[in-house]
Amino acid sequence: MLDLAVGVIIGGAITTVIRSVVDNLFNPLIGLLVSGQALQSLNFKIASATFTYGNFLNDILNFLITAFIVFMILKFIRKTFKTKPKEEKFDESLQTLKDIRDILHRQEQDILELRKSKN
């Protein structure tokens, strides 16, 4: 439970840092390449309604970068703390059932051979 709480707190902190990087570094660069203005200020108007698609693009960029960083962190954690596969316990009852299955299969084969030889 404590691990989950720590993860949520760190996730919130990482999100804040990523939002700052996107807002202060990526958005001005993308805005300059696209239209010479900041990405967040991109918009269009239909009648009296203003659609700020720049904010939407900004949020998508924040999400993609956050998802990528979380993916890389999880990949690192899995690689670092790789668990060994559990060894299967030998189950005697399972082995007994397998033996019974094999015996029944052999008996069935014997019966089929006897029927073939009678014909």
Task: For residue 29, give the CATH number of its domain.
Answer: 1.10.1200
Residue 118's pLDDT is 80
Segment 8-35 shows an average pLDDT of 80
Which spans in 26-52 are helix H? 27-34
**Would you say 61 and 38 are in contact if contact means Cβ atoms under 8 Å apart?**
no
> Hey, what are 93's tokens?
């009852």
Q: Is the pLDDT of residue 113 over 70?
A: yes
- Closest to 41 (Cα-Cα) out of 26, 57, 25: 57
Domain that holds residue 43: 2-80
Q: Is residue 76 part of a domain?
A: yes
Segment 93-110 shows an average pLDDT of 90
Q: Is residue 20 part of a domain?
A: yes
**pLDDT tens readout for residues 33-69:** 776 777 777 788 998 888 888 888 888 888 888 888 8
Q: Work out the number of other CB atoms within 10 angstroms of the CB of residue 52.
A: 13
Q: Is residue 107 part of a domain?
A: no
Q: Is residue 117 part of a domain?
A: no
Threshold 0.85, pTM exceeds? no
**What are the distances in angstroms from CA 37 to CA 41, 54, 64?**
7, 10, 22
Segment 96-100 shows an average pLDDT of 90
What is the domain count for the chain? 1
Q: Is 44 helix (H, G, I), strand (E, B) or coil?
A: strand
Q: Is residue 37 part of a domain?
A: yes
pLDDT band at 83 (very low <50, low <70, confident <90, very high): confident
